[in-house]
Homo-oligomer: A and B are copies of this chain.
Amino acid sequence: MAKLDFSPIADTTRRAEIVALLRRAILTGQLEPGQKLNELRISEQMRVSRAPLREAMRELVQEGILTSIPYAGTFVIEVTAKDIIDAYSLNQVLDEFAIERTWPLRDQRFFDELDRRHEAVKQATRAKDTTRQIETALQLHGLIYEWADNSVLLETWQRLTSRLQMYFALHQRARNEPVPAEDVHETYVALLKGKDMRAAQRHAREHIDLDFEELLAYARSLEKRI
């Protein structure tokens, strides 16, 4: 018997595809915060009935990027400065925990995957594909969560990621400057390969703080516009 591992086959329900489509539209900012999702219109555009669409929307509500008011509608969540602060402060705590758990489990496969994802970020940066840059950066960041061998932690991170990605996308969309060309993840990757866990944890915290300042400033500007 050959020892070939087959991966699970793709979800073949319309619902799953709708979830993916909607999530992408929200996280890239094509659907703006506060915007209402008209079921009839969307179902017609997707050539799908409202049943699977509604089920998909329930999933995204639980995922935290949509919000639903009975008989009124389902909306993309609004982004407040406080939301961003809250998400980031929790993210710091989780990062520390994830690094602690991943640390003893690092092996060659981990380092290889780390390099692979790092490379993906650099490529997206060179291509000036901001959406993909955000996506790959979060995937790079997510490796410590995938490696930490804690399914509940991973789920929590993935929920948080949805929001972070949305915040970043909004931020990128708002400022029309080009994306920073230098590689801010170089140190992060080096530290994860090194021997000083505390240093890695500290850097994760500081590095996040850096991006955070800029993002927060944007969030504040949003607040004032209302």
Contacts and interface: CB of A to CB of B under 8 A. Distances in A.
Number of this chain's copies in the complex? 2
Nearest to A97: B93
A217 interface: no
A48 interface: no
Contact of A83 (B16, B62, B151): B151
- A contact patch SS: helix
A90 B150 contact: yes
A150 B89 contact: yes
Nearest to A51: B51
A130 B89 CA distance: 36
Query: Interface size bucket, A side?
Result: 20 to 34
Interface of A: 11-13, 16, 51, 54-55, 58-59, 61-64, 70-71, 82-83, 86-87, 89-90, 93-94, 97, 101, 150-153, 155-156, 159-160, 163
B156 A156 contact: yes
